[in-house]
């Protein structure tokens, strides 16, 4: 019999994730899986459970939670000889990776999607010695978003990120950055650098409209200025899907990027606090197989 492991974060979805376990088990059992359920209790648990699933030869791993849970789960697949297919039931605040793959954001629909016969191979990103799923951001704005508490995420959803972002935009703090990509060098001051694997970042599905989950590229943005007035025009460009064309934004694609700074600079990785600079980012093309909706 095929083996499936469910990895569930009980604090996701306004702490409602447990309510969907039985439904997910039933769908998988009907599809012919013997199911094991593991519940995370702290940082690193999802990664450890996923490593266990790889070592036990599981055919499918299902992550029930937000982008942070998904980030940890996918890190358990790094450099594993056997990598199970990944199923996703998004229950976080933003769920960027699910958006990019058109996986339903409604938990009931996403659970039904686990029985889909269609999969898609997707890229993963490498950040120093760890993997990332969707996005790496560096700068003052990226650091402020990492400070949003779990309680605020559950209570306010995406508005929690928006509130922190608006507070940070009014300060217009920049950092000196050196960005090296595919043999080119950019040096200057910036409040925000973004490297995205998909078209959806922070719930905005038009950040990089040309990005595909399997194109092998990092889609990168250097924002040169974010004073309060300019932030309005940047926001409009973001909503219209033409941020790359804004006069104070530099856009490029790369397979490898190195970031350095002479100052301490905070980062945000898949919606959670990341390591400080320096960073080296790269892509692992078509590294993982994910269950996606039937065409």
Give the residue numbers annotated as catalytic, written as ranges: 272
- Each residue of 275-291: b (16+ CB within 10 Å) or e? eebebebebeeebbebb
Q: What is the largest CA-CA distance in the chain?
A: 60
278 upstream amide cis, omega within 30 of 0: yes
DSSP codes, 49-107: HHHHHHHTT-SEEEEEE-HHHHHHHHHTTTT-SS--EEEEEE-SSS-HHHHHTT--SSH
Q: How would you list the strands of the sheet with 135-138, edge to edge? A: 249-254, 218-223, 192-196, 135-138, 267-269, 272-274
Taking the C-alpha atoms of residue 272 and residue 269, their distance in angstroms, rounded to an integer, is 5
DSSP line for 134-191:
SEEEESHHHHHHHT--HHHHHHHTHHHHHHHHHHHHTT---EEEEEEETTEEEEEEES
104 neighbors 82 (Cβ within 8 angstroms):
no
């Amino acid at each position: 019999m095929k083996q499936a492991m469910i990895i569930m974060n009980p604090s996701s979805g306004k702490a409602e994730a447990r309510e969907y376990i039985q439904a997910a088990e039933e769908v998988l059992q009907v599809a012919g899986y013997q199911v094991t359920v593991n519940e995370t209790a702290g940082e690193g648990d999802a990664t450890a459970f996923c490593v266990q699933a790889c070592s036990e030869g599981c055919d499918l791993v299902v992550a029930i939670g937000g982008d942070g849970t998904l980030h940890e789960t996918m890190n358990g697949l790094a450099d594993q000889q056997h990598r199970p297919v990944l199923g996703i039931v998004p229950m976080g605040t933003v769920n960027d990776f699910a958006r990019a793959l058109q996986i339903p954001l409604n938990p009931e629909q996403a659970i039904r999607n686990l029985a889909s016969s269609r999969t898609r191979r997707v890229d993963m990103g490498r950040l120093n010695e760890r993997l990332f799923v969707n996005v790496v951001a560096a700068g003052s704005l990226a650091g402020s978003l990492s400070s949003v508490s779990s309680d605020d995420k559950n209570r306010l959803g995406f508005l929690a990120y928006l509130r922190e972002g608006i507070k940070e935009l009014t300060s217009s703090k920049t950092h000196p950055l050196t960005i090296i990509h595919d043999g080119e060098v950019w040096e200057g001051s910036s409040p925000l650098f973004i490297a995205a694997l998909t078209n959806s970042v922070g719930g905005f599905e038009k950040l990089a409209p040309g990005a595909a989950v399997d194109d092998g590229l990092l889609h990168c943005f250097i924002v040169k200025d974010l004073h309060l007035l300019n932030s309005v025009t940047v926001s409009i460009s973001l909503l219209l899907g033409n941020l790359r064309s804004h006069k104070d934004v530099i856009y490029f694609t790369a397979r490898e990027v190195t970031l350095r700074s002479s100052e301490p600079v905070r980062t945000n990785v898949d919606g959670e606090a990341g390591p400080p600079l320096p960073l080296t980012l790269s892509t692992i093309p078509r590294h993982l197989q994910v269950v996606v909706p039937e065409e």
